[in-house]
Structure 1
Amino acid sequence: MSPVLPPSGRPTREALAAAGVCAVLLVIDAGVVSRTGVGLAVVASGALALGTAAGVLPAYRAGRQWTACAMSLTAAGVSLLTTSLVRGTVLQRTPGWAELVGLLGVLCLSCRYGRPLPLMLSALASFVAVVRLFGRASSLFSTPVLDQIDGLFPLLPAAFALLGGYLRTEDGRRHTAAERVRHFERLDLARDLHDHVAHYVTAIVVQAQAGEHIAARDPDTARQLFGNIEKTGQEGLTAMSRLVRLLREPGTEQQAPVTPVMTTVENLVRRFSTPGQHAWLNVEDDLDSTAWSPQLARSVERVVQEGLTNIRKHARSATTVHVLLAADGNRLVIRVRDDAARQQCGRMRFRPSGFGLVGLTERVAELGGELTSGPMPEGGWELAASLPVK
């Protein structure tokens, strides 16, 4: 998995505070080291290490892994050369605090964002450079308090490497969670697009095909069908515009008016009826749709919509369609039935896409429900869903 990088932008207050701390460290180093070339080398190496820590993050953000690795190797190499120079002349009373902080920052960032090979090279070089800094401050750890922890100094870079690894793991978890959310959002969007497009386009095609056959012998009914086609097309455009608006303008879903689910279902059933094919809605008397959650109400609407759409597509001989909503204990049962024979002759009106029932099954399963579809013993076809009422 690729490392997850923070977004770029203007410096934050934290970044400005970090820059202030780095400046203080450089001032401390400049005030402690000797006024010689060696002292200047310590300060310069510290400035380079801090600059590298600040520069590798933009390099990682831009995807320049080897550039970041080269910067890390350069800072570590300069630190090792400075350490050799100091040990070959005179011991300083400071390891170069700016240098130490910078190298630890580089090590942590490498372990957090680096890819395997650049990570190993830069982390190893930074680790060795930090451990070697201990030799430049042996007298510092001879004080009564610090002399007890001098042996723990090599654990300091290990701790920062582990910190980088931990942050890398957390980044991966957040990335996985975000990908999971985006995956479900894409599925939900695909289901909504299919439901809207299939429902309205199917209604248009069915009525257009019916009008083609009856235009000559029944002009009045044909005119009615073509009027219905125009109305259905306008409703489809309105539904698609609403869906696109929700995608383009985040937050408009809270502003959009909410139609009661039973009103939506009644409209679906009412609009379904055509000459020679009538639909009926039966709702159990004690069914309280106002207590349904938004997810349940939306799923009920989609089950009814998909059932009616499939009847329009594949049940040309159906004359009666029943939509039934009833309670079964703590579950809601939705049934969409037709009386058509599935053994039909003639050309098929639609090529099955296979996405409608798949998306509906996913939607129902997310709520802990079950979806079934198949022929009934007395003839006809039934799409049934059982959903828990929460």
Structure 2
Amino acid sequence: MGNAVLGAGFALALLVMAAQYAAQGRVWALDVATGAVVCALAVGRARSRGAAAALGLAVAGVAALVARAAGLPGEPGAAAVLGLLVLGGSAVRALPWRRAAVIAGAGLALMATGLLAGPAPSTPFRVGIEVWALALAAGLGLRLLDHRRRSAAEAARRDERLALARELHDLVAHHITGVVVQAQAARIVARKRPEQLDDTLAGIETAGADALSAMRRVVGLLRAADDTPGTAPATPGTAELTQLVRRFDGHGPTVRLHLPDRDAAPWPPEIATTVHRIVQESLTNIARHAAHARTAEVAVAHPPGTLTVTVTDDAPPPGHARHLRPVGFGLLGMRERVEALGGTFSAGPGPAGGWTVHAELPVPESVSR
């Protein structure tokens, strides 16, 4: 879409330039041909930004030599200048520093050479060097902005990994403690009730398999965790979810909570923590960005093999400009948590207004039963 708009703008500039030159009785074919080539390179720059910028400068330089030899007004023309603006800015924004510096220096050298060698005043090259400097400044500004965005996103991911690393401590302790307790019980059973030893060993095997499965799901997100281990919070459950909703209720929309059957099996620690964080972050976003909503609903369901959590509000439709809410790093953190556990995550405006956050998390069969 962006290249299509850019191409249409270049085509309009070429047509206006050709009409203006023709009306003035000037030779327009060289300027239009040079501009068309440089603009085409600018539109297709994504394939190789460095090569496109270098070729665009070469075309402009050759056209300048031809124009001087033929006694024509000079190059680069208006359309070529626009194309070079895009090529220079794109190269400085996206290329590695050394290649970007080479392209920037080559453009400045070309414009300066034409300015000094041409008959005074050399208007095309004077304008060209000003536009090239503008392109470099714009490209550098966008490069720094991209760097800041990447740094902010990486910082959010790193914080989320470190939080998960702390929770992993409790996850390991939970499962391994169960293994140890059952192993101790097995020693007693072996002495007093040998006929029950096989059932006890089967329980140990199941607990060990659950521990390995849970650790593999969570560790996949902890590639860069290097924080010093700290004290992790206790694993939250349905009681903590109820308390969480009560804390938000009264500070914004009325919040309704729907939980699965209280007699259902407890959730694995890593899944319970993820559900708690999704609800917490979603309600926080509602309080910050949708205080005009009247009600919010938190629904947790536990069908066999899956646990789903959905948080919705009834804020006005997103067409109202004042009701648009930003997509921040909280959604990124929720998505990474859910996907690390093998689940799916979605968030966005609803068809009738409001905002919906929905996550589905797989639950081991031994827990679902």
TM-score, structure 1 normalization = 0.47
Structure with higher Rg: it is: 1
